[in-house]
């Protein structure tokens, strides 16, 4: 999941700037922010819509990673996921 964080981070920043996401969408419980259940659908849809355009790139990255891992290749041979 971590290699694709760039997509989620950019989407989050954009959604905050566009006022799609708000601090009011969360409750604070024991010092932690938790998304209110009624906002799950909206947030899931925003993230889904941001990830789907990269489905081919994500597939190729995972396939390449798997092949390197299974082939016990040196870490330097692993591909990196980058947005363009």
What's the whole-number average pLDDT of the chain?
A: 89
Structural domain contains residue 53: yes
Domain limits at 35? 2-77
In a domain, 82, yes or no: no
Residue 83 lies in a domain: no
Residue 1 has pLDDT above 80, yes or no: no
pLDDT tens per residue across span 40-75: 999 999 999 999 999 988 888 889 888 888 888 887
- The whole-model pTM stands at 0.74
Beta carbons within 8 Å of 31's beta carbon, 6+ residues apart:
none
Q: Which two tokens stand for residue 54?
A: 């990269």
CA 54, 58, 61, 67 dihedral sign is: negative
Provide, rounded to the nearest whole percent, the portion of the chain with pLDDT above 70.
Answer: 96
Residue 55 within any structural domain of the chain: yes
- Structural domain total, the chain: 1
């Amino acid at each position: 999941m971590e290699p694709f964080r760039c997509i989620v981070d950019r989407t989050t920043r954009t959604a905050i700037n566009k006022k799609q996401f708000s601090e009011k969408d969360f409750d604070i419980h024991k010092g932690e922010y938790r998304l209110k259940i009624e906002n799950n659908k909206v947030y899931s849809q925003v993230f889904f819509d941001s990830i789907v355009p990269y489905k081919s790139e994500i597939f190729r990255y995972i396939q390449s990673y798997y092949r390197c891992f299974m082939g016990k290749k040196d870490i330097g041979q692993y591909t990196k996921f980058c947005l363009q």
